[in-house]
Amino acid sequence: MPIVTFIYRIRNRPRTYYGKYVTDSMSDDHDGLDAEIKPHLLRGINLHRIQSGKSIFASRDLKIGVLYCSGYNPFLDWSTEEEVLCFDFYCKEQRQVCTYYLNGREMINNQEDA
């Protein structure tokens, strides 16, 4: 189960946010881990913004710095569900279906245009 732990910034704001992306598969042929997870981060944040009645962000508004990436060893990567509460953004992708959390709260993923 590949896991990417990362920090991100929104536009030119000085605050650093923390994120985690958990997936059941990840290609080893990609253009960078930050580029691989950016669409998920953007979708999760924009789901929240749409539900809050705010304008959405563009991809260029997000900057990502990868802190850690693990491989497929489930023993070393396993954490309880409680860890979701520790991250500003959390994404679980299983069988190409994503569940997004912002500040520990699950985002309802029924928006096709986010």
112 within domain boundaries: no
Tell me how far CA of residue 30 lies from CA of 37, 43, 61, 65, 107, in angstroms: 11, 19, 21, 16, 27
For residue range 3-48, what is the model confidence (pLDDT) as tens digits?
Answer: 899 999 999 999 999 999 998 877 777 788 899 999 999 999 999 9
pLDDT at 113 over 50: no
Lowest mean pLDDT among 23-32, 80-89, 94-103: 23-32
- Give a yes or no: residue 113 inside a domain: no
On whether residue 43 sits in a domain, the answer given is yes
Res 88 pLDDT > 80: yes
Instruction: Please indicate, yes or no, if residue 71 is contained in any of the structural domains.
Output: yes
Number of separate domains in the chain: 1
Of the pLDDT bands very low, low, confident and very high (cuts 50, 70, 90), residue 112 is: low
Per-residue pLDDT, 76: 65
Domain that holds residue 61: 3-107
Residue pair 100/45 in contact (Cβ under 8 Å)? The answer is no
Identity of the residue numbered 76: L
